[in-house]
Copies of this chain bind each other. A is one copy, B any other.
Amino acid sequence: MRHPHTAGATMSHVEAEKKKRGRPSRIDVDTIVGIARRILQEEGVAALSMRRVAKEVGTTPMALYHHVRDKDELLMLTLSGMAATVPRPELPDDPRERLLTVSVHMHGTLARMPWVVEVLSLGDLTDKGALWMVEEIIASCVACGLTPAQSVAAYRTIWHCVYGDLVFRQAMARRAEEPDRRRHFPDMITEADAEELPHMAALADRWLELTADYDVSTQLGAVIDGLLGQARRP
């Protein structure tokens, strides 16, 4: 196994050696990752720096590099085990319902961990504890008659819908916090655009309201219907 720390336990190759020989270390990876995780949770990825983590751990920045390869590895390590902190929901037996329930659960879970979404866009999934959701989605697709290839593709598409919603939901929340921040849309549409952009001009006033009304469950339901519809014409 080339990457032992991708498993549930956060243990680097360096730490694995420490029990055998040499001076015992004052700090360990779990402490570092724990502190990092707290900073991420409270202030987001932008606030996470090696120097900041070092200060809160109580060492010099360079001491961290004995436990993690670089900042990127630290970021990946923060993801391990996050899925296990969320209880696994009861799933309905009907595969179509199951698919929707898992997808919505995935979205709801990540909506409560905004920093995980930010970190995920930098690398790929490193938390084995999250794979049961991928498995359930693929299994349900197969149960609904999709080929394995179609099922994997369907999983990706569902993930894109979940991820996209989270990203722009967060961007909107961030912009709402900044007090005077320039909003671009739909303020940039004026009466003069009514000819070129009739629907948008007509909807401009209701745009914010309609954006707020966007319901992921409804959308995922429709997307799943479309994806499962592929079964009849392979």
List the B side residues contacting A223 at CB < 8 Å: 157, 161, 223, 226-227
Alpha-carbon separation in the docked complex, A92 to B7 (Å): 50
How many monomers of this chain does the complex have?
2
In the complex, are the beta carbons of B188 and A6 less than 8 A apart? yes
Contacts of A138 in B (CB 8 A): 199-200, 203
Residues of B within 8 A of A123 (CB): 171, 175, 184
A112 within 8 A of B: no
Is the Cβ of A132 less than 8 Å from the Cβ of B197? yes
Interface size class of A (residues with CB under 8 A): 35 or more
* Stretch of A21-29, A35-43, A205-213 contacting B (4+ beta carbons < 8 Å): A205-213
Contact string against B for A residues 140-152, beta-carbon threshold 8 Å, 1 for contact and 0 otherwise: 0010000011011
Contact of A229 among B157, B222, B230 (CB under 8 A): B222
Contact of A230 among B128, B132, B222, B224 (CB under 8 A): B222
Residues of chain B within 8 A of A196, CB atoms compared: 132, 135
Contact A152 B2 (CB under 8 A): no
C-alpha gap A222/B156 in the complex (Å): 13
Interface residues of A in 161-187 (CB under 8 A from B): 161, 163-165, 167-168, 171, 175, 182-185, 187
A213 to B148, CA, bound (A): 12
Chain B residues with CB below 8 A from A1, complex form: 190
Chain B residues with CB under 8 Å of A161's CB are: 157, 160-161, 164, 223
Best-buried of A149, A156, A159, A218 by chain B (most CB within 10 Å): A156
In Å, the complex CA distance between A73 and B185 comes to 15
| Interface contact B135-A200, CB-CB below 8 Å | yes
Task: Check if B200 sits within 8 Å of A149, measured CB to CB.
Answer: no
A122 interfacial by beta-carbon distance below 8 Å: yes
Would you call A215 an interface residue if the criterion is a C-beta within 8 Å of the partner chain's C-beta atoms?
yes
A-B contact pairs, 18 of them (CB 8 A): A3-B182, A3-B187, A6-B182, A122-B171, A123-B171, A123-B175, A124-B185, A125-B184, A135-B200, A138-B199, A138-B200, A139-B198, A157-B222, A160-B161, A160-B163, A161-B223, A163-B167, A164-B164
Given contacts A121-B171, A156-B219, A157-B219, 9 further A-B contacts (CB under 8 A): A2-B187, A123-B175, A131-B189, A152-B203, A160-B161, A161-B161, A163-B164, A163-B167, A164-B164
